[in-house]
């Protein structure tokens, strides 16, 4: 039986979030039923932070996996931290399906709706995803703000280490949570086929040899030691298990400096649905 204990981080609302999460997004070619199986494996291995979204179209399957693991005694509900993301129905669209989001008005209205969910006990914490510095400041400066965002989930990996956004979020006591921490597969239509494969980088391989760890382990541990909460994703049971093996070693300051040097501001993930909007978050530097 795996050791199911691992550290948590205190959020600005007093709640605690496990320092590593399991991502449930899957590309279209993955049968949705595998979401259920993979989530079960993740919980059995020791993951206690499950990251989902309406957009992933597998919330029912992920929910069934969680229910199974509670029913068989592997975990209690209070052991688990589940991150959900509402559907696109919260974002105004025009007749052509274009996003019509006025971040001064609609963004604050959405945030107020989430605050009401927290007041009603429907959610324990509220965060944001893919927000840049300016957009976070709009929330923080909103008149009558009741709850600060506890986190901002963005792409963050050694080729895009988000150092400026990370430091800004730290000054506001907002956690940075990271997706695509291991890069992204080239077969996805939003990934440039000429981009390098992160896990094939010799720097990760060389540091991994020192600790008898995989390049993925090094990329994940790097984020944890920076104070970032990484979301790892795999549908392969062996890789799910391997990705959790990051608590029995520690990178040296020299290792961390070397990994910092891998940054090249290379972003694997784009958000094409909103790219023509003036408030598209990735237009800003950070």
Task: Mark which of 85, 118, 133 sits at the end of a domain.
Answer: 85
Q: Per residue in 101-137, pLDDT tens?
A: 555 566 777 898 899 999 999 999 999 999 999 999 9
Mark whether 77 and 109 lie in a shared domain.
no
Task: Mark which of 85, 120, 136 sits at the end of a domain.
Answer: 85
Mark whether 152 and 35 lie in a shared domain.
no
Mark whether 106 and 198 lie in a shared domain.
yes
Q: Per residue in 200-258, pLDDT tens?
A: 999 999 999 999 999 999 999 999 999 999 999 999 999 999 999 999 999 999 999 99
Mark whether 102 and 116 lie in a shared domain.
yes
| Count of domains for the chain | 2
Mark whether 134 and 76 lie in a shared domain.
no
Whether residue 60 lies inside any domain: the answer is: yes
Reported confidence tier of residue 188, pLDDT bands at 50, 70, 90: low
Mark whether 79 and 103 lie in a shared domain.
no
Whether residue 5 lies inside any domain: the answer is: no
Whether residue 65 lies inside any domain: the answer is: yes
Whether residue 151 lies inside any domain: the answer is: yes
pLDDT value, residue 103: 52
Task: Mark which of 46, 61, 85 sits at the end of a domain.
Answer: 85
Mark whether 129 and 48 lie in a shared domain.
no
Q: Which residue has the higher pLDDT, 128 or 95?
A: 128
Mark whether 135 and 187 lie in a shared domain.
yes
Mark whether 276 and 224 lie in a shared domain.
yes
Q: Per residue in 2-41, pLDDT tens?
A: 444 679 999 999 999 999 999 999 888 889 899 999 999 9
Whether residue 2 lies inside any domain: the answer is: no
Whether residue 104 lies inside any domain: the answer is: yes
The region of weakest confidence among 3-17, 52-66, 81-95 is 81-95
Whether residue 260 lies inside any domain: the answer is: yes
Domain that holds residue 47: 20-85
Active site (catalytic) residues: 56
pTM of the model: 0.91
**How large a percentage of the chain has pLDDT more than 70?**
89
Whether residue 231 lies inside any domain: the answer is: yes
Mark whether 132 and 170 lie in a shared domain.
yes
Mark whether 238 and 122 lie in a shared domain.
yes
What is the overall mean pLDDT for the chain? Answer: 90
Mark whether 107 and 70 lie in a shared domain.
no
**DSSP-derived secondary structure for the chain:** -------EEE-TTS-EEESSEEE----TTS-THHHHHHHHHHHHHT--EEE--GGGT-HHHHHHHHHHHHHTTS--GGG-EEE----GGGS-B-TTS-B---TTTHHHHHHHHHHHHHHTTS-S---EES--HHHHHHHHT-TT-----SEEEEE-BTTB--HHHHHHHHHTT-EEEEE-BTB--TTSTTS-TTS--GGG-HHHHHHHHHHT--HHHHHHHHHHHHT-EEEE--S-HHHHHHHT--SS----HHHHHHHHTT---------GGGTTSTT-GGGS--
């Amino acid at each position: 039986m795996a050791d199911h204990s691992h550290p948590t981080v205190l959020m600005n609302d007093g709640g605690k979030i496990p320092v590593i999460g399991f991502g449930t997004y899957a590309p279209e070619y993955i049968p949705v039923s595998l979401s259920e199986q993979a989530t079960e494996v993740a919980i059995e291995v020791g993951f206690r932070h499950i990251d989902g979204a309406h957009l992933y179209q597998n919330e029912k399957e992920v929910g069934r996996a969680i229910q199974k693991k509670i029913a068989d005694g592997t975990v209690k509900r209070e052991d688990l931290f589940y991150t959900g993301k509402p559907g696109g129905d919260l974002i105004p669209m025009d007749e052509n399906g274009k996003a019509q989001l006025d971040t001064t008005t609609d963004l604050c209205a959405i945030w107020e709706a989430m605050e009401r969910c927290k007041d009603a006990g429907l959610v324990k914490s509220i965060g944001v995803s893919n927000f840049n510095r300016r957009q976070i400041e709009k929330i923080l400066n909103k008149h009558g703000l009741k709850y600060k965002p506890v986190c901002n989930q963005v792409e963050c990996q050694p080729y895009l280490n988000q150092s400026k956004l990370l430091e800004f979020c730290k000054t506001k006591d907002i956690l940075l949570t990271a997706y695509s921490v291991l890069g992204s597969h080239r077969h996805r239509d939003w990934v440039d086929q000429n981009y390098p494969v992160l896990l094939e980088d010799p720097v990760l391989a060389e540091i991994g040899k020192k600790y008898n760890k995989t390049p993925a382990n090094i990329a994940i541990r790097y984020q944890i030691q920076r104070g970032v909460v990484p979301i790892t994703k795999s549908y392969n049971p062996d890789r799910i298990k391997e990705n959790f093996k990051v608590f029995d070693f520690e990178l040296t300051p020299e290792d961390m400096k070397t990994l910092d040097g891998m940054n090249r501001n290379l972003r694997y993930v784009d958000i094409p649905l909103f790219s023509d909007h003036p408030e598209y978050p990735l237009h800003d530097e950070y």
